[in-house]
Copies of this chain bind each other. A is one copy, B any other.
């Protein structure tokens, strides 16, 4: 038993113990904790900025890219936004203790199915320090203790934010271990965290494809895969081409770095000749580089030849793959083969084609004539989300507060035996 193994076991056990307290706490007390966290972040903003300055200076010294430095950097406005994000969670309904079902066994036993917290949620995430307070607030309101492990680039910022949150929850009478942070940034601590069976009820990775793959490959605790989005837009032969163009532009360029941005464009061969040159030009104006199959390249000179790898690539950038298909079936087969099962869209005026696409596309969110960018807890009316699940076990699509709960059966008898 290595020291790190022992330390992680202890952290897991303390989180489990704290989760048993938190599971039974009233909504009022959880909201008081959220209020205290929000206020503490604001009143101690300077300390957070000072800690963040250390991360930034280390990042600059190690040659971090300007884009990553920007994600890492906190400002008074960003801290305000973290604090108000926590406040927003107060307004969301408490998911714990809902009676999901209630019935009587023929022998007279009363069976009740009631929502309960999952227990301890581990969240492994990358550079952005605001995830620390976001994830903690959602776990807390849903009655779950949380163990956070951010990236090493943000360790000073995350440690300070977590210490302040622990101070805040204690101030309202909750155990500090409802929120904890793995401060050891070794590979070993991450590995141990992923294998704390019996102490961690679910692990949610939030980050790039590499992080998610590492969790899926190495974790023995249950994992919810999130956030990989190789999203497709298929323009059917009956599409309104102007509508299609606007949806593609929005889904590709409104925020290319997020998981619900579109990465691949498919066009029915019957409209490709009209639609593709027009849409390719609009995308070019936005500096989008296109990688297409041979037929696409023949229709628009600015399209580069795609490789097999392009079809499976989530660019998260101003790039997009393009393919011309001979019919809807080919489009569906291509998407189901290469998609990450996040969000896909058909642009069409044909109801039968829309229905077939909705039924046969095997993704969390399937759109007819709307941008894939809407796959988001806020847009779906959940108020907030801790991530977007791309697997089918447990939650699928945006994970809001109800998805951070499980349930149990409470049975009342008077001596029944079987």
Interface residues of A (CB under 8 A from B): 20, 24, 103, 105, 109, 111, 118-119, 197, 201-202, 216-217, 220, 222-224, 240, 243, 246-247, 249-251, 254, 336, 354, 358-360, 362-371, 373-375, 379-381, 391-394, 396-397, 406-418
Contacts and interface: CB of A to CB of B under 8 A. Distances in A.
A109 B410 CA distance: 39
Contacts of A109: 370, 374
Contacts of A217: 220
B394 A393 contact: yes
B406 A392 contact: yes
B393 A393 contact: yes
Contacts of A367: 411, 413
Nearest to A409: B365
Given A119-B362, A393-B393, A103 B381 contact: yes
Given A374-B416, A393-B393, 18 more contacts: A105-B381, A111-B380, A197-B216, A201-B392, A202-B392, A222-B392, A222-B393, A247-B415, A254-B418, A354-B412, A363-B408, A368-B412, A369-B412, A373-B417, A380-B409, A394-B394, A396-B408, A397-B408
The binding surface of chain A is classed by DSSP as mixed
Nearest to A248: B417
A358 B217 CA distance: 36
A339 B282 CA distance: 61
Nearest to A97: B359
Contacts of A371: 413, 416-418
Q: Which 5 pairs, one residue from A and one from B, show the smallest C-beta to C-beta distance?
A: A370-B413, A250-B417, A392-B406, A222-B393, A373-B418
A396 B392 contact: no
B410 A240 contact: no
Given A216-B220, A392-B118, A409-B366, A418 B105 contact: no
A162 B385 CA distance: 43
Contacts of A354: 412
B374 A222 contact: no
A328 to B, nearest CB: 14
A373 B107 CA distance: 13
Nearest to A202: B393
Contacts of A118: 392-393
Nearest to A222: B393
A336 B20 CA distance: 10
B412 A379 contact: no
A38 to B, nearest CB: 26
Nearest to A112: B358
Contacts of A374: 105, 109, 411, 416, 418
Contacts of A363: 408
B224 A393 contact: yes
